[in-house]
Chain A
């Protein structure tokens, strides 16, 4: 099994629908992150969580919400999807205090909003 698992891998949804992307990890890391990747714009941070009771907005949090259900689970929700939220979404984890050890990424969710 992968260290960081994202579901679904691909999703097509309609404008206005609520959608949840899920992330689970077996690394035992406290810190979890959600990024979106767009061509020409790189990876941009949506939300991050340093432990179960901690939630922080990233640079592009508008239109998104998150839930940290357990140390191993961090979900991203789009309350009312819009077409410009079409992107590749990545979940990542890192070890507490070990930023220098880098992030472990999931394989991504490709979301299309029509």
Chain B
């Protein structure tokens, strides 16, 4: 069974601070995706990374895929209250996704 461990489980910060959340596995994935989920809604895809060492930027969010394709990180610069939500990583293999349990981020004004 492929497992994805996300850390930290909970994170509460002030607006304007920077943060990094992590997604780690002992398994190699063909791709790794990050989703954000807001209360009462389904997860929404933020980014997909497929190449070891790949870095993608989405405005203030920077995503990195580990060289060995087993881990990933999400860095948010100058967090805003609108960044509040549950951040999920998901590893792709055999056309199915395995999800981590998520990091619940709260950005306080």
Contacts and interface: CB of A to CB of B under 8 A. Distances in A.
Interface residues of A, number: 27
A31 B1 CA distance: 22
Interface string A54-84: 0000010000000000000000000000000
A31 to B, nearest CB: 7
Contact of A43 (B33, B50, B92, B99): B99
B30 A105 contact: no
A100 B99 contact: no
Interface string B82-109: 0000001010100111011110000000
Interface of A: 4, 31, 33, 35, 40-45, 48, 50, 59, 90, 92, 94, 97, 99-108
| Top 8 A-B pairs, shortest CB-CB distance | A105-B42, A42-B101, A102-B45, A43-B99, A100-B31, A99-B92, A99-B95, A100-B48
